Amino acid sequence: MGTARLATLLTVLTMLAANVAGAADDKPLWELGAGVAALSFPAYRGSDKQRNFLMPVPYFVYHGKFLKADRHGLRGSLFDSDRVDLTLSLAASPPTDSDDVALRDGMPDLKPTAEFGPQVDLTLWRGDGHARFLKLRMPLRAAFTLERSPRETGWIFSPNLNLDITDLPAMPGWNLGFVAGPIWATKKQHDYFYGVAPRDAMSFRPAYQASGGYSGSQFLVSLSKRYDKTWVGAFVRYDTLAGASFIDSPLVARKHFAAAGIAVSWILDVSQTRVRVDD
């Protein structure tokens, strides 16, 4: 929650990969590939330290009867319904060296974290040919530090509305996506990123204990296109911490900030088995 999550941003660039072709279509059971992504985001939400990454990213699409991995994410078909999906929500944050962030100078480093938990997706509206849809997505994730003795760092709930448009008249073949929603998290999650213990207090950084509650909101726009053997995608995300329960933390330097990324993936192999896919 406290960072511009690396895994979430990579998901935006990789899970949009399976283009909707309109109505139900025959597609390969699986596709494998690899690519590279360039990302820019704050060290943590509210930080004035911007981080830039250039890294490899996987490309994986799977259209199984139960398990599916595509532009909608990793999900299991537990319901006999075309309106409700139970999916797996994953996110992560990279480590932050406190010596690189002026407001955290002298404090313990932030360990990398992983988040996972269930997500229920409700399709509120679907256009003709399944080329457009509006979903309410409700992920609930538990967070843990990634170290020799992992620590639980609270829970995050981030419901959002997701609008996808795959039949842009002026841009054939392009996918346009919008995601917007608030975030809530527990006291332990907020305190991990925004709390200041008495032993770490300084004249410019008074002691602070965060409380649980509202964590701000996010607004994201993404664009992607699948070519024959290549996929390209990009996104821009805007965050606001206005009204957040931890807004008075001395570790919050900015209330409004942005993250962005671009990626290119190459499809290296596809299954010879074809399956009927109806997105």
We report the CATH number of the domain holding residue 165 as: 2.40.230
As a whole number, the mean pLDDT across the chain is 86
Tell me the pairing of strands 230-240 and 174-185.
unpaired
> Which pair of structure tokens corresponds to residue 219?
């607004």
Q: Are 197 and 207 in contact (CB under 8 A)?
A: yes
Q: Is the pLDDT of residue 131 over 90?
A: no
Q: Are 145 and 151 in contact (CB under 8 A)?
A: yes
Instruction: Give 184's pLDDT tier (boundaries 50, 70, 90).
Output: very high
Condensed to tens digits (0 to 9), the pLDDT of residues 47-72 reads: 999 999 898 888 888 877 666 666 55
Taking the C-alpha atoms of residue 189 and residue 269, their distance in angstroms, rounded to an integer, is 40
Instruction: Give 75's pLDDT tier (boundaries 50, 70, 90).
Output: low
Q: Looking at residues 189-206, what average pLDDT do you find?
A: 97
Instruction: Give 251's pLDDT tier (boundaries 50, 70, 90).
Output: very high
Q: Is the pLDDT of residue 134 over 60?
A: yes
Number of folded domains in the chain? 1
Residue 12 lies in a domain: yes
The per-residue pLDDT for 157 is 98
Instruction: Give 5's pLDDT tier (boundaries 50, 70, 90).
Output: low
Residue 1 lies in a domain: no
What percent of the chain shows pLDDT beyond 70? 84
Q: What global pTM score does this model have? A: 0.87
The per-residue pLDDT for 158 is 96
Residue 237 lies in a domain: yes
C-alpha torsion 67→69→73→79, nearest 10: -20
Q: Which residues span the domain enclosing 131? A: 6-277
Taking the C-alpha atoms of residue 128 and residue 144, their distance in angstroms, rounded to an integer, is 42
Q: Looking at residues 105-120, what average pLDDT do you find?
A: 93
CA distances from 182 to 43, 50, 196 (A): 20, 22, 25
Where are the alpha helices (H) located in 95-197, listed in sequence order?
187-194
> Which pair of structure tokens corresponds to residue 196?
């200041």
Q: Is the pLDDT of residue 112 over 80?
A: yes
Q: Is the pLDDT of residue 20 over 50?
A: no
Taking the C-alpha atoms of residue 31 and residue 20, their distance in angstroms, rounded to an integer, is 15
Q: Looking at residues 94-112, what average pLDDT do you find?
A: 94
Taking the C-alpha atoms of residue 165 and residue 125, their distance in angstroms, rounded to an integer, is 12
Residue 270 lies in a domain: yes
Residue 209 lies in a domain: yes
Instruction: Give 2's pLDDT tier (boundaries 50, 70, 90).
Output: very low
Residue indicated by tokens 């499809």: 267
The per-residue pLDDT for 69 is 60
Q: Which helix (H) or strand (E) covers residue 11, if one does?
A: helix 6-14
Instruction: Give 80's pLDDT tier (boundaries 50, 70, 90).
Output: low
